[in-house]
Homo-oligomer: A and B are copies of this chain.
Amino acid sequence: MRRISAQIRQEYDQLSPTEKRVASFILDHLDDLATYNSVELSRQCDTSKATISRLFRRLGYSNFKEVREDLRRLRQSGVPLPGPKLNSEASLVDRHLASEMKNLKRLQALAQTSLLADITEQLDAANRIAVIGFRNSYPVALHLRQQLIQIRPAVLLLPQPGQTVSEEVADFTPQDVVVLLAFHRRPAGFNALLKTLQKLNVPVLLISEEQSGLGKSKPKWFLELPLDTISAFDSYALPMSVVSLLSNLLLHYQLDKGRARIEKINQLYDSTEELDINLSY
């Protein structure tokens, strides 16, 4: 495929001063050049439309449209990203970000299976969904519930104050789904809960940190997310990313099926306060 950046490098010496200025600008904005038109380009580079037009001609394109098409194809077909460069004295911040990047890449590997499609389907079909998360997993559970409730009814956050999970889960059936967020520090009794669910034959999506050893409990779906950081505090970035991903997947699944009731979404957004927070000032 022809690459405009390559063309520019090749021809750069032959270009006139103004053209060089434009070419540099292009190299600096390769990623969203496809969204510019020649008028904007000329304004940004403080030159005329004519110069822009001539430049692309010089670079071997017959017109601007061809450039656009090339860029879009380029955009869509995998420019490898330059990884975060790290020297030995990289700051904590840099190292944190590098670590997050690494975690994301691992998720990418995990997400290749049909697992997510399968889960999405069940999240749509389930009569009820229970989202369960203790301690550090609780904020994630809360968030997941906040998102899911916007696209389907009957999404419960467990346990509710004053009740035990066992009680609330007792009447769950194979037509329901339980999402169990189980990152670190699972309280005593957790295994009992797993067993109960298994006995009831409730499909369980179990999400934990890596190396949790929870795979043995044979949940219907199992996601092990890397939470590693440079130091003692884990990062819950990936769990939140998965929440967003699952929500978006479910939304699109429902859209495809014509089943999404989007009109409700904003109402809920605006009026419903799912949490008992006092919003007054």
Interface residues of A (CB under 8 A from B): 6, 8-10, 12-14, 24, 27-32, 34-35, 68, 71-72, 74-88, 90, 92-94, 96-97, 100-101, 104, 107-108, 111, 116, 134-136, 138-140, 142-143, 146-147, 159-166, 184-185, 187-190, 192-193, 229-241, 243-245, 247-249, 251-252, 255-256, 260-263, 265-266, 268-281
Contacts and interface: CB of A to CB of B under 8 A. Distances in A.
A142 to B, nearest CB: 5
B80 A161 contact: no
Contacts of A265: 9-10, 232
Contacts of A104: 97, 100-101, 104
Given A81-B31, A248-B231, A9 B276 contact: no
A143 B236 contact: yes
Q: How many copies, total?
A: 2
Nearest to A6: B266
Given A236-B240, A237-B241, A108 B84 contact: yes
A121 to B, nearest CB: 14
Given A104-B104, A189-B281, A241-B237, A93 B78 contact: no
B279 A134 contact: yes
Contact of A72 (B12, B32, B160, B239): B32
A172 to B, nearest CB: 14
Contacts of A6: 266
A82 B13 contact: no
Contact of A231 (B8, B78, B251): B251
A144 to B, nearest CB: 9
Contacts of A238: 237
Nearest to A187: B279
B271 A184 contact: yes
